């Protein structure tokens, strides 16, 4: 074989090998997932046990061009409750669960459900309605971008009820009692005679045990994780409704640098996280209420007439909330109306139309 021809063939073979190696070169991306709550709570547990493994699985199925080296930092070890959005936006962590309930100043419109209590107890419905609003109302969905984040998937909590160390048969039983109620849920006991006390899932147990409060407004899956039934064994199913609590968010700068196909995987898994969370949360809530009862808790259901009376006792918290945000240039009236209409279209029987009064 001619020397020049042999040289060309050798060079071609070398280039082919280099090209093949480049095509199979794997990019490793280091990401830190963090949250203020520990994985005992489902919204973190599903990131840890579903979202992260599922992203890895789909990346591998797509050819393995990208691999993620994950660092997990749950339970406030890296970012604390109420500072998740800033921590992720600042790059302290790359991805995690942002609880909009604890970050109302940054996500005012996302908290619409908390200002329209006694809504739907269907977790999937509340998540779907809020997600649709974030899509339809630019000022609402754009809040994530404004805060340096990319929203990947949301979560609504199972319906809120009342855990107390005294029996509750009517609204009147709340008079002079101290009730721990986080953030906007403090409005749910206004004008009932009860006194709202600030707190979160990490403080509920000791607050009640030490006498700081006589009970708490919370949800079954959170109450079980915090062992609230041990110090507040009277569970009154008031059904304040399922509440949108936040979602998985990623640092926008980090997300924008991901290859398009990887971005799509993150978004797709985020959508499935929302669906799985709703189903798992509903099933867990029912099962955990039963476990609390088996452990000695006394469960009762507030009569429908008394529930309506409670709803009607409250001041126009939704309209006040909306007016305040409208004055700041935010379309809260549109969001409130859309939220109430969305619940009604999905079959919710509301004892009070918050968009009307």
Residue 341 lies in a domain: yes
Same domain, 104 and 169: no
Segment 150-195, tens digit of pLDDT: 999 999 999 999 999 999 999 999 999 999 998 789 999 999 999 9
Whole-number pLDDT of residue 11: 43
Residue 12 lies in a domain: no
Asked whether residue 332 is domain-assigned, the answer is: yes
Regarding whether 274 and 126 lie in a shared domain, the answer is yes
Tell me: do 133 and 257 sit in the same domain. Answer: yes
Asked if the structure places residue 277 within a domain, the reply is: yes
Q: Are residues 63 and 192 in the same domain?
A: no
What single string gives the DSSP state of each residue in 129-172?
HHHHHHHH-HHHHHHHHHTTEEEEEEEEEPPEEEEESS--SSGG
For residues 86 and 221, state if they share a domain.
Answer: no
Q: How far apart are the first and last CA of the chain?
A: 92
Q: Tens digits of per-residue pLDDT, 46-103?
A: 999 999 999 999 999 999 999 999 999 999 999 999 999 999 999 999 999 999 988 9
- pLDDT tens readout for residues 122-152: 999 999 999 999 999 999 999 999 999 999 9
Q: pTM, whole model, 2 decimals?
A: 0.85
Residues 271 and 208 grouped into a single domain: no
> 301 and 281 in one domain?
no
Confidence (pLDDT) at 269: 98
**63 and 193 assigned to the same domain:** no
Q: Report the mean per-residue pLDDT for the chain.
A: 92
Average confidence (pLDDT) over 208-237: 96
Strand spans (E) along 233-348:
234-237, 243-251, 298-301
Domain that holds residue 101: 27-157+243-285
Q: Which helix H or strand E contains 196, and what residues bound it?
A: strand 195-197
Domain final residue, candidates 234, 260, 285: 285
Q: Kindly report, residue by residue over 204-220, the tens digit of the pLDDT.
A: 999 999 999 999 999 99
Q: Would you say 147 and 163 are in contact if contact means Cβ atoms under 8 Å apart?
A: no
Same domain assignment for residues 319 and 341: yes
Residue 328 pLDDT > 70, yes or no?
yes
Confidence at residue 330, expressed as pLDDT on a 0 to 100 scale: 98
pLDDT at 41: 85
- Asked whether residue 15 is assigned to any structural domain, the reply reads no
225: in domain: yes
Question: Are residues 165 and 94 part of one domain?
Answer: no
CATH of the domain at 132: 3.40.190.170
Residue 18 pLDDT exceeds 70: no
The domain total for the chain is 2
Query: 334 and 253 in one domain?
Result: no
Q: Is residue 3 part of a domain?
A: no
Statement to judge: residues 212 and 121 lie in one domain? no
Task: Answer whether residue 8 shows pLDDT above 80.
Answer: no
Domain assignment present for residue 6? The answer is: no
Q: Is residue 206 helix, strand or coil?
A: helix
pLDDT for 12 beyond 70? no
Runs of H (alpha helix) within 169-217: 204-210
Residue 37 CA to residue 78 CA, distance in Å, equals: 11
pLDDT band at 24 (very low <50, low <70, confident <90, very high): low
């Amino acid at each position: 074989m001619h020397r020049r021809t042999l040289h060309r063939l050798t060079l071609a073979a070398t280039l082919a090998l280099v090209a093949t190696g480049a095509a199979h070169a794997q990019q490793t991306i280091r990401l830190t997932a963090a949250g203020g709550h520990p994985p005992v709570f489902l919204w973190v547990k599903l990131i840890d046990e579903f979202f992260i493994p599922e992203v890895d699985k789909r990346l591998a199925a797509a050819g393995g061009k990208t691999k993620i080296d994950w660092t997990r930092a749950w339970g406030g070890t890296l970012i604390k409750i109420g500072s998740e959005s800033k921590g992720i936006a600042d790059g302290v962590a790359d991805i995690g669960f942002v609880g909009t309930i604890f970050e109302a100043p940054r996500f005012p419109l996302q908290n619409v459900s908390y200002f329209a209590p006694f809504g739907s107890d269907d977790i999937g419905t509340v998540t779907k309605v809020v997600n649709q609003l974030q899509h339809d109302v630019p000022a609402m969905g754009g809040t994530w971008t404004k805060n340096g984040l990319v929203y990947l998937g949301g979560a609504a909590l199972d319906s809120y009820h009342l855990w107390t160390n005294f029996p509750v048969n009517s609204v009147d039983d709340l008079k002079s009692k101290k009730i721990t109620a986080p953030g906007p849920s403090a409005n749910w006991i206004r004008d009932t005679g009860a006194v709202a006390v600030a707190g979160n899932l990490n403080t509920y147990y000791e607050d009640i045990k030490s006498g700081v409060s006589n009970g708490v407004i919370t949800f079954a899956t959170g109450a079980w994780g915090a062992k609230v039934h041990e110090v507040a064994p009277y569970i009154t199913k008031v059904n304040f409704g399922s509440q949108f609590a936040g979602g998985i968010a990623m640092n926008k700068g980090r997300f924008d640098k991901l290859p398009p196909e990887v971005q799509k995987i993150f978004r797709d898994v985020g959508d499935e996280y929302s669906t799985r969370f709703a189903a798992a949360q509903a099933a867990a809530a029912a099962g955990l209420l039963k476990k609390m009862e088996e452990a000695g808790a006394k469960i009762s259901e507030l009569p429908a007439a008394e529930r309506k009376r409670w709803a009607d006792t409250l001041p126009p918290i939704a309209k006040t909330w909306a007016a305040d945000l409208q004055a700041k240039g935010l379309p809260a009236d549109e969001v409130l109306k859309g939220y109430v209409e969305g619940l009604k279209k999905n079959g919710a029987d509301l004892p009070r139309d918050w968009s009307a009064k």
